[in-house]
Amino acid sequence: MDITKFEKYMALITDHPLVLSPSERAGIIMARKDYCICPTCPTYRECAEKADDRCFCTIGKSREGCISDESPGCKCHQCVVYQDVGFQKEFFCTRGTEQQQRVLSVLEMR
């Protein structure tokens, strides 16, 4: 079922009041990291591996622009976290979290 623009907007803004404690957030990141397939992606880089960075959908862009070339593609669509949460965006390592990208999409429409 397709949802209306208004419902999409409401889903966006109602996400914001959800404030997690640092330990809750750390727990979610740890669990998602276990399932994250970024290290198998051709876009993933050694600098991210050295920093133990992945799960960019939740933590945001790679540190210090470690990953910048998107041309090899994004494998996020194949990830169980992606499918479970219902993400729609991609290239989280270069473009930021799902939420950041959605907010930007809304702002760019204005």
User: By the criterion CB under 6 A, which residues form the site for ligand SF4?
Assistant: 32, 36-38, 41, 43-44, 54-57, 74-76, 79, 81-82, 87, 90-93
Q: Residue 41 or residue 102: which is nearer to ligand SF4 going by CB?
A: 41
How many C-beta atoms lie closer than 10 Å to residue 35's C-beta?
13
Closest distance to ligand SF4 from the beta carbon of 40 (Å): 8
Q: Residue 8 or residue 60: which is nearer to ligand SF4 going by CB?
A: 60
C-alpha distances (whole Å) from 37 to each of 5, 20, 40, 55 are: 31, 24, 6, 8
Closest distance to ligand SF4 from the beta carbon of 4 (Å): 26
Closest distance to ligand SF4 from the beta carbon of 78 (Å): 8
φ and ψ at residue 87, rounded to 5 degrees? -65, 160
At 67, which amino acid appears?
I
Question: What is the C-alpha separation between 62 and 51, in angstroms, rounded?
Answer: 10
Q: Residue 37 or residue 103: which is nearer to ligand SF4 going by CB?
A: 37
